[in-house]
Amino acid sequence: MSSYIEPIELLAEQFRRLPGVGKKSAVRMAFSVLEMSVDDAKAFSDAIMNAKTSVHLCPVCGNMTDGDICSVCSDESRDRTVICVVENSRDVIALERVREYNGLYHVLGGVISPLAGIAPSDLNVETLLTRVAGGEVKEVIIATNPNVEGETTAMYISKLLSPLGVKTSRLAYGIPVGGDLEYADEVTLNRAIEGRREI
């Protein structure tokens, strides 16, 4: 005999599938749903299906959107000569939060990773080449993460782009603002020295 009640157990199992949620948190979350009003629980339940069914990838850049094309691609005020290549839509959100970058994006939907079984052909690269070949683009900023997979992907894309005669750049890597030299790892410090700038 289980002390759990089956519908609660099933709901907790669903919560456990979310990132960063352990067994105890999942049970707490399941109970918090029971404490909601029926309307609130319905709104929660509907939000899941609504997000899942209405969100799809922008045919231009591969970013997530609930419209025909995404809000960045459809924004006439953005600089159409620069494209920033990122791994996923969360990276777009992170960059948009800075309010510094005003160009377009291109979302790869992953990085080359033989271990995870992701080959170059699985990435949204074809459309990037078509966009760049269009001639309007002057610079492509490759903003994949600074790890093995991200670097490999950056190298791969820059090689594909080089015959098109477009300027290709990579984000600067170094010590994060507010960081401490003492605690920075060797690779980051090495990158910081390599990328030093005159003042």
Would you tell me which residues interact with a copy of itself (CB under 8 A)?
1-8, 10-11, 13-15, 17-21, 25, 27-34, 36, 38, 40-55, 64-66, 70-72, 75, 88-90, 92-93, 96-97
CB nearer to a copy of itself: give 43 or 187.
43
| CA distances (Å), origin 153, targets 13, 51, 120, 157 | 35, 29, 8, 6
Q: How far is the CB of 124 from a copy of itself (least distance, A)?
A: 15
CB nearer to a copy of itself: give 65 or 144.
65
Q: Is the dihedral of CA 197, 188, 174, 146 positive or negative?
A: positive
Q: How far is the CB of 137 from a copy of itself (least distance, A)?
A: 21
Q: How far is the CB of 106 from a copy of itself (least distance, A)?
A: 15
CB nearer to a copy of itself: give 47 or 164.
47
CB nearer to a copy of itself: give 50 or 190.
50
Q: Residue 4: count other Cβ atoms within 10 Å of its Cβ.
A: 12
CB nearer to a copy of itself: give 70 or 125.
70
Name the region of 20 (left: φ>0; alpha: ψ -120 to 50; beta: rest): left
Q: How far is the CB of 4 from a copy of itself (least distance, A)?
A: 6
